[in-house]
Chains A and B, each alone.
Chain A
Amino acid sequence: MPRQCSETCLELLALELVRAYGRQSRVPPAAAVDAIGFRTGRQLAERYTANRARLGEPLEVIKFVCKEFWMEVFRKQVDNLRTNHRGTFVLKDNTFRWLAKLSVDPAPPAGAAATRAVASVAELARDYLVLPCALVRGALAHLGVNAAVTAEAAVPPACEFTVTIKPR
């Protein structure tokens, strides 16, 4: 039986991680969080692939990440996977759970507030997407797919991850 932990604890930890690194000034926060995520992604990949058949092609690895890895880490599967068949994959998650509870301080003035609030949640989401991106990148790298991963949440909690496989 694997050890389990409450989802709330994980959410709070992810929030606090971004906040703690955001407040200190020794290392750039994004780089520090990225390094943590990359390392954790590698370890998770090792664990989650232990009891399954061998993966071969990069496409199989991406599918594994979309289904099993996503299920384990983000508690659901990716909703939509698109590719241009030239090494770029777009993973769309319509309700990305790590962003589900993200919100900005209630905008004080009325009027233009509606549009501004949405824009700033998307902006806020950028900081919180560094960790998931790094997790995915770490898992892919450990399974033999070197890729760059970026994420954008235009309308949180919907979120699009773009995976670009680097040529060898």
Chain B
Amino acid sequence: MNYRIRKIYSEIMLGLCVFSFILGVFFLFWILGDLFIKGLSSLNLSLFIELPKPPGIPGGGVANAIVGTLLLSIIAGIIGIPIGILAGVYIVEYGNNRLAWWTRFISEVLSGIPTIIIGVFVYILIVISMKRFSALAGGVALSIIMIPIITKATEESLKMVPNSVREASYALGAPKWRTIIKVVLPSGSSGIVTGIMSAFARIMGETAPLLFTSLNSSFWSLRLDQPIASLTVTIYNYATSPYKEWQNIAWASSFILAMIVLLLNILAKYYARRKTHF
């Protein structure tokens, strides 16, 4: 192949790359643009402070759904963050055996399982045995989605911590567990925090696993053993309803949710960029 053909070949490939990029960005901006136009126009204060109202009655908000999404995320975090981090620590720091290999493998499989199946699983495990839909069930379902994301992030960031730092700690007479707590985890903390943020951004947008775990609610509720509203299920219900006002609320809720997720992603990026000394 002579130089000219190679050059043309390169140009064609570059063109294909640029085309794919534009295609991707085009749809992203289309979605975001639609969301901005329709979401912003329906946005108002009552959305943040009022409870849902029946169709036909003006006003009404999704305040309880915002609180519900936050509560579900907190439950998921309380369960998912420690398990995710511990599993990641196990894989990297004690990972010289078969069990660690299986831990990593199962974590990877878990991250590929459709979330609706996780929802069914939690429905059978918790909803049926408790005989009611509950915030707890929703939180558990979301935590199962969170775990592999955090495990992966922990694994990747602990792998970046150079071994020489661990040896420095051992050479000072520190036991392994203190080395992990005082040196390894703090050194990899920015990557772990990034992973936690991305995991939250991910679970906040989940609908399927909540449909038959936390269900929905039109009232204020902070009880873990009762159904609870969430932004995603509210959007699902309202967007598919025949009423114009409800559809507008769905647009506004979508906008709020998108902004929360965007903010989390930006925070995650910010943390990822902080201190990378190694």
**A, B from the same assembly:** no
